[in-house]
Structure 1
Amino acid sequence: MKILLAALLPAFLACKHNDASTDTGGPVKDSAGTHILLADPTIFYDSGTYYLYGTGGNTRGFLVYTSSDMQTWNGPAGVKDGYALVSGDAYGTQGFWAPQVFKYGGKFYMAYTADEHIAIAESSSPLGPFRQKTLKPVSGPGKQIDPFVFMDEDGKKYLYHVRLQQGNRLFVARLKDDLSDILPETAKECITATDPWENTAHAPWPVTEGPTLLKHRGLYYLFYSANDFRNIDYAVGYATAPTPFGPWQKSADNPIISRHNTGHNGTGHGDFVRDTAGRLFYVLHTHRSDSAVSPRMTALIEAAFREDGGAADVMTVDAGSFRYLFSPEK
């Protein structure tokens, strides 16, 4: 188990956004290679290749790495000097955070945060360039971050996201079929930090963020991270609901990923991916070390649903499967 920081970060560290500027810094190397330094990571699979994206410590856009097995990662491999999306091709000038890539109608889309707003860009390739014909964010009041697009079996589309309203609060809204914007009248709050594990610093600005959603046996599972990302107790929990809009019931097993079962501080804000064998993984970031938050490092942990005798299966993770992601030494 990792040694804790001197104390839990106090309430004044509560933030209203995920400041990626803290992730600047050179490569972190060890015997396994060079650590990949992407926070808020996501992995997208298409035609035999896994594509890894995330928040980096820059204002230019989003890098992308590739792999055939999720073991060895190569890159950055984006078409623009390693970048899949760059400032100027799509909305935003700074604060490029928390991308999600998905395929729809034969095109590839990236939902992301920039300038503390959400935008959706498109491309003919997962390597980019992701662009917008009109550089604009998604509609909504105030600042919005951390998008996750979910397409249900009936064809309806939803944008799960965070609104900065007296805390980082999770919302959902219907997306238009062409993905051009949300339907503002459908927006509904899902989750805010109310449980003790979700605000261990007793911060005046509580944080729930980094949503991702899975549908399993007809039930909706909304995964999220809680606490300030600089807090060693940044961790992952989930809630279930019978509909995409709720009502949401938080799991009694929360948090399911934390420093207590991984041995690493600041575990959270990721996304799920299945490998070619059908195994489910959660890609996430951690703090750099016991004494430093940044540059945050990218990791992977195996997850699975387990029958528990109740109406809902339980999400579990294999703590022994936790591993960091590396690119080859150069």
Structure 2
Amino acid sequence: MKKIITLVSFMSVFGACSQENNSAAKPVEAVAKNIFVADPTIFYSKGTYYLYGTTTGNVANGEGFLVYTSPDLKKWSEPKGAQNGLALKKGDAFGDKGFWAPQILEYNKKFYMIYTANENIAVASSDSPLGPFKNESKKPVIETGNQIDPFIFIDEDGKKYLYHVKLTNGNRIFVAEINDDLQSIKPETLTECISGTLPWENTENTSWPVTEGPTVLKHNGLYYLIYSANDFRNIDYAVGYATSKSPLGPWEKSKDSPVISRKNTGQNGIGHGDIFWDQNQKMHYVLHTHFSTAEVSPRKAAVIDVEFTGNELKAVPGSFNFLKN
């Protein structure tokens, strides 16, 4: 499960002045600040990268989703959303709390945001990645039960699939075909994909095992379901994957999982992100980490390079870095 986090920042300046030699003061230098979002996603369009994620409902910005921009993945802006930094804000959206885990999709000459609110899934649209995104319907995409962490995958044949997490005897990943208007699913196709059954997926042996944050892609005819496991507050929160010959499964979990964890990054609570490709078609995974070894929140956004070796998905050693502005 996720929690709302707080967006904080700090700034340091350095200056010096010597009266003895009457030299000028040193220029003020801004120190790069971590970007504090959880469950992040990065969307690339026309030379600009857009970063979204689970943020805070603070007084300055209001509730919804902030969006940051970058021309190069190195230097990020302050929030640039159309409404006080927000790409989608409470009031234009379904629900009124728990705005989590957005995904951005360009489809039919519009931009769509698929997201969680009130532990349900909704879809909003806009003419710009900066928003304002607004919901056509104030109903959730799935009207029974509680579900979070949506991800829409469009296959080569045009069929569309909504991967998501059902809150039922654990956080379990499900999939269903979603209709062309992206507003409802085909309930007869609803299928369970995976749950937390392996030792690395439940290191605390809880009665509510967690698999969440699905992202799906296709490579060499195989479907890859990339997911995070363990409670997000657990230092062993990590990223693994499963493969299938069909978008509906059955899924075979990789024996190499977890492929991104504290063991190969040095960061606690690392996971729940999204695959994206940069302007040079290089593949990356954006994710979040704990704030420190002692505190979970506010969680920090970061990127790590990933690549295929044959049909195995691997993280590139030494490529991890935090996102800053």
Scaled by the length of structure 1, the TM-score of the pair is 0.90
1:278 Cα deviation after fit: 1.3
1:25 Cα deviation after fit: 5.0
Question: Could you tell me which residue of structure 2 aligns to residue 321 of structure 1?
Answer: 319
Tell me, in whole angstroms, the C-alpha distance in 2 between the residues paired with 1:41 and 1:145: 14
Question: Could you tell me which residue of structure 2 aligns to residue 43 of structure 1?
Answer: 42
2:24 counterpart of 1:26: no
Change (3 A) 1:109 1:25: closer
State how 1:1-330 maps to structure 2 within 5 Å. Answer: 17-20=1-4, 23-24=5-6, 26-27=8-9, 33-58=32-57, 60-307=63-310, 313-327=311-325
- Any conservation in 1 of the 2:7–2:37 contact (CA below 8 Å)? no
Tell me, in whole angstroms, the C-alpha distance in 1 between the residues paired with 2:224 and 2:189: 20
Amino acid at match of 2:160: K
Any idea what the Cα deviations from partners look like across 1:33-69, whole Å, max 9, x if unmatched? 1110010000001111110000012261000000111
Tell me, in whole angstroms, the C-alpha distance in 2 between the residues paired with 1:192 and 1:32: 42
- In the TM superposition, structure 1's runs of 4+ consecutive aligned residues that sit over 2 Å from their partners are 28-32
Tell me, in whole angstroms, the C-alpha distance in 1 between the residues paired with 2:281 and 2:7: 35
Amino acid at match of 1:142: G
SS at match of 2:317: strand
1:24 Cα deviation after fit: 1.7
Question: Could you tell me which residue of structure 1 aligns to residue 24 of structure 2?
Answer: none
Amino acid at match of 2:6: T
Scaled by the length of structure 2, the TM-score of the pair is 0.92
Give the fraction of aligned pairs with identical amino acids, expressed as a percent. 58
1:135 Cα deviation after fit: 1.4
Q: Once structures 1 and 2 are overlaid, which stretch shifts more, 82-91 or 52-61?
A: 52-61
- The alignment covers a number of residue pairs equal to 304
SS at match of 1:37: coil
Tell me, in whole angstroms, the C-alpha distance in 2 between the residues paired with 1:276 and 1:99: 21
Higher relative contact order (CA 8 A, sep 6+): 1
Tell me, in whole angstroms, the C-alpha distance in 1 between the residues paired with 2:7 and 2:68: 18
Tell me, in whole angstroms, the C-alpha distance in 2 between the residues paired with 1:302 and 1:32: 25
1:185 Cα deviation after fit: 1.5
- Any conservation in 1 of the 2:56–2:63 contact (CA below 8 Å)? no
- Any conservation in 1 of the 2:7–2:36 contact (CA below 8 Å)? no
1:32 Cα deviation after fit: 5.0
- Any conservation in 2 of the 1:160–1:172 contact (CA below 8 Å)? yes
Tell me, in whole angstroms, the C-alpha distance in 1 between the residues paired with 2:217 and 2:51: 19
Question: Could you tell me which residue of structure 2 aligns to residue 7 of structure 1?
Answer: none
1:318 Cα deviation after fit: 1.3
SS at match of 1:197: helix
Q: What is the RMSD computed on CA atoms of the aligned residues?
A: 1.2
Tell me, in whole angstroms, the C-alpha distance in 2 between the residues paired with 1:132 and 1:141: 19
- Any conservation in 1 of the 2:147–2:166 contact (CA below 8 Å)? yes
1:75 Cα deviation after fit: 2.2
Change (3 A) 1:250 1:140: farther
